[in-house]
Amino acid sequence: MTEADLMRLKVLARLQARGLPPHIGWSDLLQEAFARVLDGSRRQPDGVPVVAFVAGVMRSIKEYYWREARRGTRQRQKLLAELESTGIEEGEPFDPQPSPERRAIAIQEMEAINELFEDDPQAQQIISALYEGLTVEETCTLCGLSKTDYDSTRTRIRRALIKAGLRTPQP
């Protein structure tokens, strides 16, 4: 993935994040898209450019948030009643920057992923290749893998992340 591709994805993420709840920023949307690609829950079809593929993943995530928001409207009255019972008039302003707690959680998750795959160089190579935006063919050539080995390793990565509680299964 080139710098230009990353910039395009950032612009697309900013556009997709408009209208989402304030606690979901464009960087969260982009990061979640990359996370789903890395954990194997979203697979890039052959011949689809990386930018178009990740943009589609972000659009799908946005739709997920909208579905959740529609479900949440049914609970809004209950939550408002609880908020009023706590005595908070307006609520505290929301800070879109990650809190120290959220940063600590992210660091712990990254350490857990590194530890999870420390004895699996093939998984580490594929994770690195996905991070770099390489295609399946480029990754197989670079790592000396067959397409079957690549798919098997991606499945192993996804299952290990789910088993470790670092990802949830995607429908």
Q: What is the mean pLDDT of each run of 10 residues along the chain (171 residues)?
A: 87 84 82 88 87 89 77 59 53 61 79 87 87 86 91 90 76 52
**Is the entire prediction scored with pTM above 0.85?**
no
Residue 129 near residue 38 (C-beta atoms within 8 A) = no
Domain boundary among 95, 120, 141: 95
Counting the structural domains of the chain, the total is 2
d(CA 8, CA 52): 10
Q: Is the same domain home to 42 and 111?
A: no
The predicted pLDDT at position 88 comes to: 45
Q: Is the same domain home to 17 and 34?
A: yes
The predicted pLDDT at position 146 comes to: 93
Quick count: other Cβ atoms within 10 Å of Cβ 110? 11
The predicted pLDDT at position 72 comes to: 62
Q: How many angstroms separate the Cα of 128 from the Cα of each of 24, 39, 43, 114, 125?
A: 26, 12, 16, 11, 5
Any idea which residue has 């809004």 for tokens? Answer: 76
Domain range for 68 is 1-95
Q: Is the same domain home to 134 and 165?
A: yes
SS3 of the chain: helix, strand, coil, percent, to 5: 70, 0, 30
Give the CATH number for residue 166.
Answer: 1.10.10
Contacts of residue 1, defined as CB under 8 A and 6 or more positions apart, other chains included, come to 50, 132, 133, 134
The predicted pLDDT at position 149 comes to: 93
Q: Is the same domain home to 37 and 114?
A: no
The predicted pLDDT at position 91 comes to: 52
